[in-house]
């Protein structure tokens, strides 16, 4: 199975000049837009909405901080207004791997094309 990586821009809605641009792994098993806690100061002052327990791929439970409000723009799609989850991450070869979770994908009307290993636009939102 392939990995889908997309460019993302996260902007603090209270401080429009505070922006994080990064490449992120599309992870339909994750809920939130997940960023490393080491980057938290780069996005300026955000409200910490809540702290939550998160089960990561190793089945370990870690604490995360849900913060916002932010604008999240996946390259090629319309921006959405949401929250980000900051987690302590360990960089691999000095590089962090942010995640784009299913909440942000659905809000952005994005679907994963597994055969084409790409993101595609969903023309209508299912409310049924």
Write the CATH number of the domain with boundaries 5-121.
2.40.70.10
Phi, psi of 44 (to 5 degrees): 80, -165
Residue 1: pLDDT band with limits 50, 70, 90: low
pTM above the 0.85 mark?
yes
pLDDT at residue 107 in the model: 96
Mean pLDDT of 66-89: 97
| pLDDT score for 57 | 85
Q: Which pLDDT score, from 0 to 100, does residue 120 have? A: 97
Strand partners, 72: 10, 80
Query: Is residue 37 classed as helix, strand or coil in its secondary structure?
Result: helix
Q: Which residues pair with 100 in a beta bridge?
A: 26, 33
Confidence at residue 127, expressed as pLDDT on a 0 to 100 scale: 84
């Amino acid at each position: 199975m392939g990995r889908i990586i997309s460019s993302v821009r996260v902007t603090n809605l209270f401080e429009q000049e505070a922006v994080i641009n990064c490449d992120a792994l599309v992870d339909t098993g994750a809920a939130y837009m997940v960023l490393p806690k080491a980057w938290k100061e780069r996005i300026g002052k955000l409200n910490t909405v809540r702290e939550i327990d998160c089960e990561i791929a190793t089945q370990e439970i870690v604490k995360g901080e849900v913060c916002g409000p932010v604008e999240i723009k996946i390259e090629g799609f319309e921006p959405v207004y949401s929250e980000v989850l900051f987690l302590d991450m360990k960089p691999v070869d000095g590089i962090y791997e942010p995640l784009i979770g299913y909440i942000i994908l659905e809000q952005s009307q994005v679907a994963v094309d597994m055969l084409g290993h790409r993101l595609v636009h969903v023309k209508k939102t299912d409310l049924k």
